Structure 1
Amino acid sequence: MRPHLFTLASAIFPLLPSALSAAPSLILHGGKVITVDEKFSIHQALAVEDGKILAIGSDAEVTALKGPDTQVINLEGKTVMPGLMDSHVHPRAAMTEFDHEIPVMETIQDVLDYIATRVKATPEGSGIVVSQVFITRLKEQRYPTRAELDSVAPKHPVSFSTGPDAMLNSLALQMNGITKDFKITDGGPGKVEFDPKSGEPTGLLREMGRFVKVKQVSKAAPTPEETYARTKELFRDYNSVGLTSVCDRGASPDSIARYESMLKKGDLTVRMRCSHTFGTGGMWRTVEQSIDKVIEHPLTKGDDMLRIIGTKIWLDGGMLTGSAYMRQPWGVSQIYGISDPAFKGTLNVPPDKLRQMVDKVTGAGLQFTAHSVGDGAVHELLDAYEEVNAKRSIRDTRSCITHSNFMSKEAVERAAKLGVMMDIQPIWLHLDSRTLLAQFGQDRTRWFQPLKTIFETGGIVGGGSDHMQKIGSFRSVNPYNPWLGMWVAITRKAKHLDAPMHPEEALTREQAIRFYTINNAKILFLEQTAGSLEKGKAADLILVDRDPLTCPMDDLPQASVLKTWLGGKLVYERK
């Protein structure tokens, strides 16, 4: 056909190119398709071909594309949505119970009973570590005391470890040389809590993991094959609740190599983004060399299935443990074992060094993010971003604040202006607000996870879980069920509290869906591929048994995913 005739034919038959193209491999029709496009459009049907969305529209428009080999599924009124995303997981959580199953612990007595069972199963003198049982979630709202740990394990060193902080028993203190005369001399962070009357250590140590070694005896370490299998099992469980993309916010070289292997073998059933860790201690040149290794990694130029998007450091302590870096002192606290009225928490990296890190990472076009829980840490990180941004825009690097729990109106506005994004975990609001309110009161928690204000200010915030331990979306330490996360973001309801936690910061249902889809896609450099159902994008989609826009609100956490597709491939189907 001559060029002018081709042009004429195209004008007369605008659908001809579609007609000549291959028929779709899959058509879903007769339901509600929530696209999460810019207009949050709702349609009846969609078609998939070659792993991508071919068409979205009415039943009549889409079913007209059916070919002889097209699989056609009648949705019978059910809902199709983009695959959900979790911007903060730790897949090593799959290995938590490799040695033995760990019970739920909700009281101090539960903790002591568990330690007692480990005493019976562990040779005398061997260590016992209880990890990530947070005091904010215990009925008593406090650490077990040194004496309580001694009472059940007098001949075993015990560490009740809650992330950056830990309570040790007497034998563990003795074995690690923590006495009333102990002083930190390496220039790093940390604090020993002392009894104001006796001057002896209470057993509570903050940010001092480098000084404490409590060696456990367990069954044989998992083989690489066992670690691979359990990680694969975890990712399948992610798929079962609708997750098709996640970010490992603490990826090590070993974990990244495992993801590469899974991708090659066809076992990677989530799009994996990685925030590579690096050491922040020591001289700047040592830190810089560690960052250079990340920058030089081939996967920083990875694809839509596996990519290192940047780096992550730990800037402050934890709000679950009593060491998050705050702008105002925590206050003397029986809950957190704080005796110093001037204590503001721990800041792990000095401001000048933090600015150097941000400059180095963003200068390479990578995302920098830092665990920043307290409002003091959030402001310190924003200060560093502003300094670097003054000489070179950081917007395109998707610079991020991880956790960003305690903020301020000023911090929200600064982040939006700079293009700094946030990954926030609503489950902390649900599980920890009772204790946070007891410690800080209503005024100091006003800007705790201010999701609505971030949306209204034009900031980008995405939903995550900080999944730390165990497989199981509800039983895990920091549950990774995204429907529960949406419910929390919408209702602001907290366990053991009668009233919502600052309901003025609640999201709408539409915003909560964006929170776990397109917003996370933007944070994770995936918005051109996933996060919404639009023609040409990857067919990452889920079939849900209820409509999250209209179902009774308290039914939302029980939403059941019936099928999950990743790039048009079915990776989960409820049996």
Structure 2
Amino acid sequence: MLRSRSAKFTRCLAATIIAASSATIASAQTADTILFNGKILTVDNDFSQQEALAIGDGKILATGTSAAMKRLAGDKASLVDLGGRAVIPGLTDGHIHGIRAALTFGTEVNWIGVPTLKDALEKIREAAKAQKSGSWIVVAGGWTEAQFAEKRRPTPGEVAAIAPDNPVYIQHLYDWLLLTPKAMEALNIRDDNDVTPGGKLMRDSDNKPTGVIEAGGNALGKLFDKLPKPTLEQQVDGSKKFFREMNSLGITGIVDGGGVSMYPASYQAVFKLWRDKQLTVRVAYHLCSPKPGSELADVQNLTQLLPPGFGDSMLHFNGPGEIIIWADWTDGDITPDGKAKLAEFLRWAASKGYTIQLHWNPDRTVRDLLDVVEDINKDYPVRDLRWTVLHLYNASEDSLKRMKSLGLIWGVQDGLYFGGERLQKEVGAEQAKLMPRIATAMKLGLVVGAGTDAHRVSSYNPFVSLQWYLDGTTIGGTKTRGDEEAPSRRQALEMYTRNSAFMANDDDKRGTLEAGKFADLAVLSADYLTAPMNEIGKIKSVLTMVGGKVVYAAPPFAER
């Protein structure tokens, strides 16, 4: 007993000495930036709130009172009066197709958040006036008719009338596409054979194609691939604009899921920004299997020079995903052959120490995936690899328990913000109230990461996503998920900060505002913790910093 108490005392004394030494080191450093007179949400283990923070050499030196932090200021330090505003760790979208969205952001027409169909069509009209005759006008997703006051989609006739000289491509999620006559002609689409497998041409009463195509994701991906690609210069410009747009919403990092229509050449623009030190978000990227049939061989070849974590603090390779085996990725239905291929692929990934993001939708078949992972776990500790199961909105409590036992992460996106009404019709109002079981997962101790899956299937706005996590209300105003499965405001913010940083293998560097971590932060237009629930989606950043450098500023900070 005496020996035990002595050992305990020694450990406590050592911890005290280490803490004192750390404090001395921090106090010995001088800060180049002080943010003071604010409400700093550190998102540390205690979710503590501070008044100010000090930044030096791109990292947080300390947090505390305004007076204490000012004492750390160097002679040339910048002192920023927050005016009482809330500050949060920079947000990390834990699953987004941001690299893909960025490639065409400068050349697409963006309907995300547009309130009326009239306004959306006006954007098409303006693009037709601005662009050359014959050039493509593309809306690649991120919208739904529920956001429009008119509650309907555009018709081919009204689109062709406002852009008669341009081929127009308007995609809705991954289930519907509108093409004007010039677009149909340019893509050589005449019958169903031109949009298969998985696509079907809608026809009018005279059996003529209307220009509307109903299809699955694979079919629309193939059609999108036929569109003219922006030049590398346009891709780089679009990428800069997209990442700055994300900075304006408090995003300082993304975990990119690759996705349909993403090939090795698709990464050249983001790599150029990285090489030129012009990235304004930290990127952890995943590589999808490029094509069906040779998934493992292709990824093995692509990753020969990409060991786990390859890169630096601004961009690194995070592992394969989200599409692993093409035959099974869309909705999780899996054949014995597909299960064997999946097992072979995941076992190889585990042997290499790769982090995985894996698209899986229905709970009815996730047991097949978990069986595979449990078998691999006998030889490789999967919980050390930070594998994430994405989507799975209808995860049962039993499935969540199995995921917890394996140390899997659950990546929950806000897809039901767009699709909640459809889900409600499919499963009934009572079942929909339980989807997704975020509160249950957190009670079980699962790491739940946040994200949007943007931009084709949802908005990339993290505050829209945060509001949906909290209130379960769709873009159309229907409350589909019950409050019993809602996270608290603290938990939802943790999903978008420390948990998503964990998914990126960066939780030791960012995700909280603690001494020693990167000064990635956002000063908010409204206090996330106290804003009315229906106002959270309107919050923006007025000052965003990555590594202590300002990457976005709005008044009053833009005037500095």
TM-score range, shorter chain: 0.7 to 0.9
Output the amino acid matched with 1:29.
F
Gaps in structure 2 of 5+ consecutive residues: 1-16, 204-208
Matches within 5 A, 1:416-565: 416-426=404-414, 428-468=415-455, 478-565=458-545
Partner of 1:340: none
Cα distance in 2, alignment partners of residues 503 and 393 from structure 1: 35
Q: Tell me whether 166-175 or 372-381 shows the greater mean CA deviation.
A: 166-175
Cα distance in 2, alignment partners of residues 571 and 114 from structure 1: 28
Contact persistence 1:317–1:325 (CA under 8 A) = no
Give the SS at the match of 2:63: strand
Contact persistence 1:317–1:346 (CA under 8 A) = no
Matches within 5 A, 1:207-226: 209=219, 221-226=229-234
Matches within 5 A, 1:145-224: 165=175, 178=192, 204-206=214-216, 209=219, 221-224=229-232
Q: CA separation of 1:176/1:444 partners in 2, compared to 1, >3 Å: closer, same or farther? A: farther
Partner of 2:288: 277
Partner of 2:271: 260
Matches within 5 A, 1:255-334: 255-279=266-290, 281-283=292-294, 287-297=296-306, 300-314=309-323, 325=331
Within the candidate set 372, 397, 402, 2:385 is matched to: 397
Q: CA deviation at 1:301?
A: 2.1
Cα distance in 2, alignment partners of residues 148 and 376 from structure 1: 42
Cα distance in 1, alignment partners of residues 298 and 222 from structure 2: 27
Q: CA deviation at 1:375?
A: 2.2
Contact persistence 1:236–1:269 (CA under 8 A) = yes
Q: CA deviation at 1:560?
A: 3.1
Q: Tell me whether 405-414 or 164-173 shows the greater mean CA deviation.
A: 164-173
RMSD of aligned Cα (Å): 4.5
Output the amino acid matched with 1:263.
W
Contact persistence 1:544–1:562 (CA under 8 A) = yes
Matches within 5 A, 1:309-388: 309-314=318-323, 325=331, 350-376=338-364, 378-388=366-376
Are residue 415 (structure 1) and residue 425 (structure 2) matched?
no
Q: CA deviation at 1:561?
A: 1.5
Q: Tell me whether 437-446 or 302-311 shows the greater mean CA deviation.
A: 437-446
Partner of 2:8: none
| Per-residue CA distance 1:439-470 (angstroms, 9 max, x = gap) | 2212443542221111111111111111225x
Give the SS at the match of 1:515: helix
Aligned length: 521
Q: CA deviation at 1:259?
A: 2.6
Cα distance in 2, alignment partners of residues 117 and 62 from structure 1: 50
Within the candidate set 42, 61, 68, 1:35 is matched to: 42
Are residue 59 (structure 1) and residue 46 (structure 2) matched?
no
Q: CA separation of 1:215/1:464 partners in 2, compared to 1, >3 Å: closer, same or farther? A: closer
Cα distance in 1, alignment partners of residues 234 and 121 from structure 2: 30
Which structure shows the bigger proportion of residues in helix conformation?
Answer: 2
Q: CA separation of 1:212/1:325 partners in 2, compared to 1, >3 Å: closer, same or farther? A: closer
Taking structure 1 as the reference length, the TM-score comes to: 0.76
| Per-residue CA distance 1:128-180 (angstroms, 9 max, x = gap) | 98754777858899999999999999xx999875565557999899957746x
| Per-residue CA distance 1:187-245 (angstroms, 9 max, x = gap) | xxx687999xxxxx997444653996588676xx4221121011011111111111111
| Per-residue CA distance 1:387-440 (angstroms, 9 max, x = gap) | 2113221111111112222211111111111111122212x2222211211222
Contact persistence 1:453–1:505 (CA under 8 A) = yes
| Per-residue CA distance 1:328-378 (angstroms, 9 max, x = gap) | xxxxxxxxxxxxxxxxx7889811111111111122111122222222454
Partner of 2:248: 240
Q: CA separation of 1:496/1:163 partners in 2, compared to 1, >3 Å: closer, same or farther? A: closer
Cα distance in 1, alignment partners of residues 42 and 375 from structure 2: 38
Contact persistence 1:242–1:542 (CA under 8 A) = yes
Contact persistence 1:78–1:543 (CA under 8 A) = yes
Give the SS at the match of 2:87: strand
Q: CA separation of 1:203/1:294 partners in 2, compared to 1, >3 Å: closer, same or farther? A: same
Output the amino acid matched with 2:469.
A
Cα distance in 2, alignment partners of residues 143 and 15 from structure 1: 59
Q: CA separation of 1:439/1:349 partners in 2, compared to 1, >3 Å: closer, same or farther? A: farther
Cα distance in 2, alignment partners of residues 364 and 551 from structure 1: 45
Cα distance in 2, alignment partners of residues 15 and 358 from structure 1: 41
Give the SS at the match of 1:452: helix
| Per-residue CA distance 1:505-547 (angstroms, 9 max, x = gap) | 1111111110110010111101000000111111112222332
Output the amino acid matched with 2:450.
G
Cα distance in 2, alignment partners of residues 115 and 65 from structure 1: 53
Contact persistence 2:413–2:450 (CA under 8 A) = yes
Give the SS at the match of 1:303: coil
Contact persistence 1:128–1:216 (CA under 8 A) = no
Output the amino acid matched with 1:356.
E
Q: CA deviation at 1:385?
A: 1.7
Output the amino acid matched with 1:303.
D
Q: CA separation of 1:123/1:440 partners in 2, compared to 1, >3 Å: closer, same or farther? A: farther
Output the amino acid matched with 2:219.
G
Are residue 76 (structure 1) and residue 83 (structure 2) matched?
yes
Q: CA deviation at 1:500?
A: 4.8
Q: CA deviation at 1:317?
A: 10
Cα distance in 1, alignment partners of residues 386 and 347 from structure 2: 13
Contact persistence 1:87–1:464 (CA under 8 A) = yes
Q: CA separation of 1:158/1:282 partners in 2, compared to 1, >3 Å: closer, same or farther? A: farther
| Per-residue CA distance 1:282-323 (angstroms, 9 max, x = gap) | 25xx633433422532674222211111111437999xxxx9
Cα distance in 1, alignment partners of residues 191 and 223 from structure 2: 10
Q: CA separation of 1:382/1:162 partners in 2, compared to 1, >3 Å: closer, same or farther? A: farther
Cα distance in 1, alignment partners of residues 162 and 171 from structure 2: 17
Identity of aligned residues (%): 28
Partner of 2:553: 573
Partner of 2:9: none
Cα distance in 2, alignment partners of residues 29 and 22 from structure 1: 18
Output the amino acid matched with 2:442.
F
Cα distance in 1, alignment partners of residues 23 and 433 from structure 2: 58
Taking structure 2 as the reference length, the TM-score comes to: 0.77
Matches within 5 A, 1:84-123: 84-91=91-98, 92-96=100-104, 98-99=106-107, 101=109
Give the SS at the match of 1:67: strand
Contact persistence 2:525–2:541 (CA under 8 A) = yes
Contact persistence 1:239–1:572 (CA under 8 A) = yes
Contact persistence 1:324–1:374 (CA under 8 A) = no
